[in-house]
Amino acid sequence: MSWKEKWSQEKSENLPKTAISSLEKCDKTFFPNIYILLKLLAVLPVSVATVERSFSSLRRLKTYLRNTTSESRFNGLALLSIHRDIKIRDEEVLDKFASVPRNLDFVL
């Protein structure tokens, strides 16, 4: 007997309404794969919008940094993303870059 056949013989008022009630009525011996799938379905979150939002920010950071291996650069961008309410003056950024010895000359 298949899972579909089992429930096609039941009346509609006896059908389980949730994944947890389906899991309780599932025989683990006869339907081991269905039992595992119902267990997974029962613990999945309904919505993960906030997690997706933070993962998309992290994905953008990783995409930008994919060709670089500098951990400090990744940490700096992560801090900028986290503390975006702090105002940074352009002059401070230029002074910071100009003070670091580089192969490029900054013209101010």
Asked if the structure places residue 108 within a domain, the reply is no
Residue 47, pLDDT score: 64
For the segment 26-50, the average pLDDT, to the nearest whole number, is 80
| Same domain, yes or no: 36 and 17 | yes
Tokens of 72: 């400090």
Q: In whole angstroms, what is the distance from residue 58 CA to residue 77 CA?
A: 10
pLDDT at 65: 67
More confident residue, 46 or 88: 88
Question: Could you tell me if 31 and 13 lie in one domain?
Answer: yes
pTM of the model: 0.40
Mean pLDDT of 73-87: 81
Question: Does 36 share its domain with 60?
Answer: no
**What confidence category does residue 48 fall into, taking pLDDT thresholds of 50, 70 and 90?**
low
